[in-house]
Structure 1
Amino acid sequence: MSVKLAKGVNLHILPTKKYKTVRILIRFNTLLDRRTITKRTLLSSLLETNSLNYPDQTQISERLAEMYGASFGFNVNKKGNLHWLNLSMSIVNDNYLNQSHVLEEAVAFIKEILFAPHIVEGHFDQETFDREKENTGAYIESVMEDKQAYAALSLQNLYFDESDAQKIPSFGTLEDLKKETSRTIADYYYEMMAKDQIDIFILGDVEEEMTAKLIAELPFTEREAGVGEVFYHHTIDNVIKERSEREELAQSKLNIAYDTNVFYGEASYFALQVFNGLFGGFPHSKLFMNVREKENLAYYASSSLDTFRGMLTVQTGIDGKNREKVLHLIAKELENIRKGEVSEEELQQTKAMLKNQYLLSLDNAGSVLEGAYMDFLLPETVLEPEEWLRRLEAVTLKEIQKVANQVKMQAIFFLEGEQKNG
């Protein structure tokens, strides 16, 4: 059941008896913009930790405990050209309790959090703001201190150098965080509440009409519907971008980015999935078996896809002196797939792993919600499970070779580890 609550505000109710809990997802969706990414991250922390009537985290925790241990939180992420700020809540199903109204209480709690933030005289409570700004800064620093994450983000920065918004992390930067004040974030809160497209998803054993009536009480106003093109198309460069850095590390990181020119929902999507599984997506893949196991040249070696930006990345942890050997071996494994040097066993094992992943996702509440969102955002890509599995099974070696042949290397980031002296 989908209901338009106001222009640009949609409710989607997914009734199911599969889960003992009811999941609520409210997604604020806007175009990715360097000027607002960090604002949204800091705002999500401020909304999660307090409100006017729950001025500290302790009071929020106590209220959640009263709702039979409900869980609640905010996060941000990006998908192609879009930036999402998400409110998630999980509550016990009222059907398992006597004389309870947990869903009703949860909606009232969400209303308090979203529509009564701790803003006084046009700015967020200063003490709270200072603490959350410091916490957000500490979080960004902690991610950058994780060298595997740092290498992945540095590769992204190098690969997307034509787009200021695409090249920075979904949570923003310390540089942009420093500019924010309790007033600028309050101003942005009002802008987001007025302009973002909003989709509300309810998953669980709920009565649809009653639930729709409850959610309709949230006082969202009308806004422009739709947010623009979701897919980001990278400008292919004939020159491979390279950057190297040195740090005191026991293990060097060699990360590579490729343009695939294949996007979610396209005809070649399934062939790309199988290609990635064969190349580096699974423990039986060529990168894992040959670069890591057989040649013993990597501590880890894998590949992953971003089908909303047409991107494939390879991540490896290596001994720095083996950089050229590893690059050569990765290129060789890609070439082997291009030539069709894939055994029937490798092909069937990869399809079986992808099938298993997909079937598990159908039982995972978070995956079900994300799937429902994508179905709403891109209705032309909707597939029934039987059709999804049929298309996966139908992928041929020739289709995999075709995908492999259009994969183009675009960027190499190398974080070289140096041993400490003495």
Structure 2
Amino acid sequence: MLKRLAPIELGRGVHLHVIKTDKFKTNLIRVYLQRPLEKEEVTKNALLTMVLPRGTERFTTSMAVSKELENLYGASLSSDVSKKGERNIIQFALQLANDKYLEEKGVFEKGLSILNEIIHKPHLQEGKFHTQYVEQEKDNLKERIEGRINDKMSYALDRCIEEMCSDEKFSLYEYGNVEDLKKISAESLYEHYQYIIGTSKVDIFVVGDMDEATVENMVRQHLNFVSGDKLSVEREEILRSPADVKKVEDKMDVSQGKLTLGYRTNLPYESELYHPLVVFSNILGGGPNSKLFRNIREKESLCYYIFSRIEKFKSLMMISSGIEFDKYDKTVELVGKQLEEMKNGGFTTEDIESAKNSIITSMRSMTDTPSMMADFYYTQVVSNNPDSLDEMIDKVRKVTKEAIIASSKQIELDTIYFLRDQKEGR
């Protein structure tokens, strides 16, 4: 049984969402702080999620924090940043055993107190963050930022978006950049922390088999966010018609070319054509039954992998593939042909049903873990969408061929990005 209850306002800009389910033997507390995606703070936000778990007023070291979590039957703490369109999301989560399955009671309440300390009562040194902790985590974050080149497929997707949206906030990497990281001190990071903790919209999700009134009472007692005016995040600009197709090439020591094509769909997620657009993308490049896979990978043997995906909040469609360096022109040509064929209705009822089934299976998998469930419903909150999972599935089922074709009419190629070997010429 899964029941998503109406949000509870704990204060201005602070909301509690209880997702009652008996599917898991654990309870999840997940806290989301919503920030605008800005160059001035994106690196600091990422660093904060690494520094805050290092210690609190009571538990001043990582080891002390870990020991306290171990005492709560191996509770699991995590923190991270993500990007939802041009929103930078700071998140903290604590997953712990449900009291129903324990002889000891009060584990949830103790977990809330620890999470509150992590977020609101950091370990300080002379009125600022502990300098050693900040410097160590700066090194770790630098390694993470520089290490993104190790996953060439993701790196090529990121680079295509950076070039495509070069004058838009969406181009920013959610973990920031090394140059800005160098400028951050323990003092400046603590000042930033004090600013965002009071000005960010807060959504607290609790996923588990617990009574709503009990959850609300405990959260009000133990998780103390300040009520007040919060920073609003503007809706992303999505309507763009590229004058020319931008072509970008990077060279690196790679054995396989990474080709990414970025398209503007010019279709907001609020549109009734959004679900048809998702079906369009799935038919085009959603898996082994897709047009791109069957025709470009299997029939023409031009690529090692190829797929299409929709970037919901920014209304982009990205096509990514791994190819031999000399197959660039032919692959770009055939992707374009497949796209135009689909825009003209060149797909079957079987294609539609296969895509719908694939999408619905993927949507249902969002209830497989408490974390995925919380993130799905938080995405609904951010996009102002009241639909339940079943209601969204029903909308996918009702998508027609005419709507799929209509959803594709404004899709335009914006950027072609190619990552190739530095020794090769073309």
**TM-score tier (shorter):** over 0.9
Are residues 1:259 and 2:293 paired?
no
Equivalent residue in structure 2 for 1:303, among 304, 308, 317: 308
| Amino acid in structure 2 at the alignment position of 1:190 | Q
- Displacement of 1:388 after TM fit? 2.7
What CA distance in whole angstroms lies between the structure 1 residues aligned with 2:336 and 2:175? 32
Are residues 1:183 and 2:179 paired?
no
SS at match of 1:216: helix
The answer to which of 308-317 and 139-148 deviates more is 139-148
State the partner residue of 1:211: 215
Superposed CA deviations along residues 95-120 of structure 1, whole A, max 9, x for unmatched, are 10113211011011012111211222
State the partner residue of 2:3: none
- Displacement of 1:167 after TM fit? 0.9
State the partner residue of 2:82: 77
Q: TM-score, normalised by structure 1?
A: 0.94
- Displacement of 1:366 after TM fit? 2.6
Question: Which residues of structure 2 form unaligned runs of 5+?
Answer: 1-5
What is the correspondence of 1:320-335 to structure 2 with a 5 Å cutoff?
A: 320-335=325-340
State the partner residue of 1:200: 204
| Amino acid in structure 1 at the alignment position of 2:393 | L
Q: Assess if the C-alpha contact under 8 Å between 1:79 and 1:230 holds in 2.
A: no
What CA distance in whole angstroms lies between the structure 2 residues aligned with 1:248 and 1:371? 37
Are residues 1:118 and 2:111 paired?
no
Superposed CA deviations along residues 66-115 of structure 1, whole A, max 9, x for unmatched, are 10011111010111221110001111000101132110110110121112
The answer to which of 118-127 and 19-28 deviates more is 118-127
State the partner residue of 2:343: 338
Supply the RMSD in Å over aligned alpha carbons.
Answer: 1.9
Q: From the superposition, tell whether residues 343 and 319 of structure 1 become closer, same or farther in structure 2 (CA, over 3 Å).
A: same
Q: Assess if the C-alpha contact under 8 Å between 1:258 and 1:313 holds in 2.
A: yes
SS at match of 1:328: helix
State the partner residue of 1:228: 233
What CA distance in whole angstroms lies between the structure 1 residues aligned with 2:219 and 2:319? 43
Equivalent residue in structure 2 for 1:21, among 13, 26, 30: 26
Q: Assess if the C-alpha contact under 8 Å between 1:8 and 1:226 holds in 2.
A: no
Are residues 1:284 and 2:301 paired?
no
Q: Assess if the C-alpha contact under 8 Å between 1:262 and 1:307 holds in 2.
A: no
SS at match of 1:400: helix
State the partner residue of 1:98: 103
Are residues 1:153 and 2:153 paired?
no
What is the correspondence of 1:384-399 to structure 2 with a 5 Å cutoff?
A: 384-399=388-403
The answer to which of 50-59 and 325-334 deviates more is 50-59
What CA distance in whole angstroms lies between the structure 2 residues aligned with 1:251 and 1:273? 29
Q: TM-score, normalised by structure 2?
A: 0.94
Q: From the superposition, tell whether residues 291 and 366 of structure 1 become closer, same or farther in structure 2 (CA, over 3 Å).
A: same
What CA distance in whole angstroms lies between the structure 2 residues aligned with 1:368 and 1:189? 28
Equivalent residue in structure 1 for 2:416, among 400, 412, 417: 412
Equivalent residue in structure 2 for 1:86, among 79, 82, 91: 91
Q: From the superposition, tell whether residues 7 and 386 of structure 1 become closer, same or farther in structure 2 (CA, over 3 Å).
A: closer
| Amino acid in structure 1 at the alignment position of 2:131 | Q
Superposed CA deviations along residues 147-202 of structure 1, whole A, max 9, x for unmatched, are 22221111111111122x32121111111111111111111110111111111111
The answer to which of 238-247 and 317-326 deviates more is 238-247
Q: From the superposition, tell whether residues 269 and 364 of structure 1 become closer, same or farther in structure 2 (CA, over 3 Å).
A: farther
Q: Assess if the C-alpha contact under 8 Å between 1:119 and 1:186 holds in 2.
A: no
Q: Which consecutive segments of 4 or more residues in structure 1 shift more than 6 A? A: none
Q: Assess if the C-alpha contact under 8 Å between 1:197 and 1:223 holds in 2.
A: no
State the partner residue of 1:369: 374
Q: From the superposition, tell whether residues 388 and 2 of structure 1 become closer, same or farther in structure 2 (CA, over 3 Å).
A: closer
SS at match of 2:409: helix
Question: Which residues of structure 1 form unaligned runs of 5+?
Answer: none
What CA distance in whole angstroms lies between the structure 2 residues aligned with 1:364 and 1:236? 39
